[in-house]
Every structure is written in C-alpha cells, then in structure tokens.
C-alpha cells in the first residue's frame, strides 16, 4: 500500500508550501507499542525530574519564538504581529502547569485511625493520543501535553495537516531537553481511516481531541467499542451581551477584537452580539469606527491585523452564512475601509463584516461561522438577552459587558457556558478550568482539574501487622 502524502496549502496564496509523508498502517500500530514500552520506565520517573525536562523544553521553545511565530503565520495565516504572542503565552501556560503539578499530583490522605494508613494516589494511565488543531496549535497542544507528561504518561501527537511543523518543533525541543526516547512521538496524517486505526489500538489509554464537533464525534465513535476515555474540546457559538450602561467606545473596541482576532478562527471568539435597544444604534456606529482602523492584508506584513482564513472551504462557509443572513433581512453595515475593498487577489481573504438586524432564523446566529463576522441583534431586557444567549447547541464561553459588575456576575451565573466573562472575552486563563457544555465538548483542560483526565486513582489501605 502506498504511503499517504500530506500537502499543506498556504492560506495566503493557495499554493502548496509543505509536504509530509504519512505512515503505513503497520507503522501507525507500532507507535502505541513504542509508547507502551517507554511508559514502563517513564511512569517511575520522579515528578521533579519530569518537571526539569518540561521546563527545559519550554525554555528551548521560547528561545526559538521568532522562528516558531513565522511558521505559524506562513502555515495558517495569522498576522506575524501576533503569532509570537501565542508562543510566549503557551510557555507561560506550561510554566503554570509545572508550578501546580506537585500539589495537584500529591497523595490524598484518608481519615486518621490508629493502626491504619489510608491514602489515594494519582497514578498515570499510559499512552495518550493528542489530536490538536491548526488555529492555535501551541496553546491547544500545551493544554494536554504538559499535564500528560507531568503525570507520568507517554504521548503520541497528531498535528493538523495545516500546521505540521508544530509537532516536529515540540518533539525536537523535548528531545533536546532530555526526554527519554519513545515518551513523545508524533505522526502526520490526513486520513480519517488511519486516525480511526490508532484510536482503536488497545494500547492507547486516553484520547484528547480539539477541533470541530463532527471531528470529535468521529473520534468518539471510533473509540466506542472499547473502554477508553475521550476528552473533547469542540466548537462554540459564543455570545456577548452589551448592557445599556457601558462606555460604547471601549465596549465596541473589545467586542470587535473578540470577534475578528485571528480572522474569527477561535472556538471562543464572539459570534453573537446582543445589544440593549437603548444603545443599539450608537453601538453600531462605535463598532464601525473601530473597524475603520483595521488593516487586512499580507500576514507577513507587521502592520496587518487580519490575515486570510485557513482554506477555500472556510471562505465559502463564511460567505454562505453572510448570504443567508442578508437574504433573510439582515444588513451589511461594514464601514468603508480601503483594505476591505481591495483584498489581496490570491489566498482566502475575507473582509471583516458587520451584520445588523440578525435573528435566530439565520445560520450566522446558530451555526459556527469561524470567520471575521460580527452579528449584532437588538434586545429589550436582561431576561431576553439571557434567553437568547442560552438558545444554542453550544456552550463554551459567554460574556456580559456592563459597568455594574455585580449585576454582570448575577447574569453570568444564568448563562449556560463552561466559562463566563464579565467585561472580557476570548481569554482562557490557565488557573481556570477550560470546559464546554452541550456540543462544545466534554472533559477539562487547564487549571488543577486539567490533570484529572491523565491520572487514575489508586487507593492504599494499610493495616499494621498484629503483634
């Protein structure tokens, strides 16, 4: 059987830029065997030694920030102005997970009783398969990789075909940091059949998937014929509610950024905006003013704020959502911006689009758009806003924007989302659990609870020998 050839297409030019070879089915099945063998010794390594290796690897990645940033920009199209920040943020996130690991992974003592000792130990589970996406490759990878290794597990990485070098760079850094052979492996793959094959391998003890709902369901289905846990970080249709008491210029600036940063290609981007009817018209004007200052263009230009979306298919999906909204009565109130009108002729460039008069009959308010579209709907009350925010199959993040932070907290408590923000958005904090409700996924990454999926509890019940 011929080996699969995986080609990365530049979102900026739509031309091939990278090719990688996949593996044969036999080679795919060998990865878990190697991982299981390495697990026998890695699990016995002291936590302090694991921490040293992880910290060294993170430093190596940090020292290569500019190189890594350039690779992200070239491969997935985010402007070079921002990609270095992803690398430094991923390292800070990793440092936090190292910092809390000793306390998180320590034994939990049972009730004191003379003549007995009882405690619960968190033990590693074995080889972990991590399937991670292209949109924030370092950030999403760190979420699972660092706690998995610190907990004593071995890891196999499968990067997105769009950003193949990320797995290579990470594996190289950990090898240089002294990680034993076989503890961290990676493979390139674009074939769903091959992915299903390794998911079904009995040596894989846990699977982490970050990506679309259909992709997550496919992985879960492939794993359904055996007892293995699957952690899923999936999509979102994240809402924002702007109350009537906000400073409009500030709120508009924050919400535009939360909607179209990374060309809107974030699972926690703001995709639905509900605005108090009393300030609705003024908010639209404020958002238009903010958009006037944005520059769309070549992502390698340091002045560019919005680059291309990742693929032709993504561009077509965004266009279909906008078309559906306009046909159903929405208005395109995007301001007159020269860079929006004169998009680069090649690549998958999409103008940031401000839609008004939207409602929940439109795809742009119900399906994940994953593009630079700001859809704004008028509401009459807090109650209506909360009802509409919860009217979704997704539940990843949501935000409330108000000067009355106590009221914001009260409203946030009513929202069905894994993370609720007040006066902030699109910011996974490493000390908070990252989790989704409804079709936004299952399981937890980040925070102290992000280690739980990588350990199993083992109880020790010891009694003194009778004298």
Q: Which residues carry out catalysis?
A: 233
Distance between CA atoms of 231 and 455, rounded to whole angstroms? 13
- CA–centroid distance for 190 within its chain: 19
C-beta of residue 184 within 8 angstroms of C-beta of residue 155: yes
């Amino acid at each position: 059987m011929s080996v699969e050839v995986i080609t990365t297409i530049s979102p900026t030019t739509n031309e091939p830029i990278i090719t990688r070879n996949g593996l044969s089915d036999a080679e795919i099945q060998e990865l878990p065997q190697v991982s299981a063998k390495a697990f026998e010794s890695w699990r016995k390594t002291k936590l302090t030694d694991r921490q040293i290796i992880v910290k060294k690897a993170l430093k190596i990645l940090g020292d290569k920030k500019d190189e890594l940033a350039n690779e992200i920009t070239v491969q997935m199209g985010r402007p070079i102005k921002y990609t270095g920040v992803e690398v430094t943020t991923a390292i800070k996130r990793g440092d936090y997970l190292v910092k809390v690991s000793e306390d998180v992974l320590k034994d939990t003592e049972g009730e004191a009783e003379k003549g007995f000792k009882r405690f619960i130990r968190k033990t590693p589970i074995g080889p972990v398969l991590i399937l991670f996406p292209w949109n924030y490759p370092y950030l999403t990878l760190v979420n699972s990789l660092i706690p998995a290794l610190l907990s004593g597990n071995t890891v196999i990485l499968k990067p997105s075909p769009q950003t193949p070098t990320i797995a290579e760079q990470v594996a190289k850094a950990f090898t240089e940091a002294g990680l034993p052979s076989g503890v961290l492996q990676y493979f390139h793959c674009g074939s769903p059949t091959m992915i299903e094959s390794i998911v079904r391998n009995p040596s894989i003890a846990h699977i982490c998937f970050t990506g679309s709902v259909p992709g997550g369901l496919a992985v879960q289905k492939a794993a359904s014929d055996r007892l293995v846990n699957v952690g899923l970080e999936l999509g979102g249709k994240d809402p924002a509610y702007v109350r009537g008491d906000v400073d409009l210029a500030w709120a508009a600036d924050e919400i535009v950024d939360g909607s179209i940063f990374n060309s809107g290609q974030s699972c926690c981007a703001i995709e639905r905006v509900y605005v108090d009817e009393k300030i609705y018209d003024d908010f639209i004007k404020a958002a238009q003013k903010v958009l006037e200052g944005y520059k769309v263009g070549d992502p390698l230009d340091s002045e560019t704020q919005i680059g291309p979306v990742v693929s032709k298919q993504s561009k077509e999906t965004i266009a279909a959502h906008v078309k559906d909204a306009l046909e159903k009565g929405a208005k395109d109130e995007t301001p007159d911006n020269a860079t929006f009108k004169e998009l680069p002729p090649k690549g998958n460039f999409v103008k940031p689009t401000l839609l008004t008069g939207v409602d929940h009959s439109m795809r742009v308010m119900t399906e994940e758009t994953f593009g630079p579209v700001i859809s704004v709907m008028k509401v009459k009350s807090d109650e209506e806003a909360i009802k509409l925010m919860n009217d979704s199959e997704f539940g990843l993040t949501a935000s409330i924007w108000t000067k009355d932070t106590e009221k914001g907290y009260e409203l946030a408590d009513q929202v069905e989302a894994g993370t609720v923000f007040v006066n902030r958005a699109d910011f996974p904090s490493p000390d908070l659990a990252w989790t989704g409700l409804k079709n936004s996924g299952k399981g937890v990454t980040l925070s102290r609870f992000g280690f739980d999926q990588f350990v199993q509890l083992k109880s020790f019940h010891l009694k003194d020998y009778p004298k």
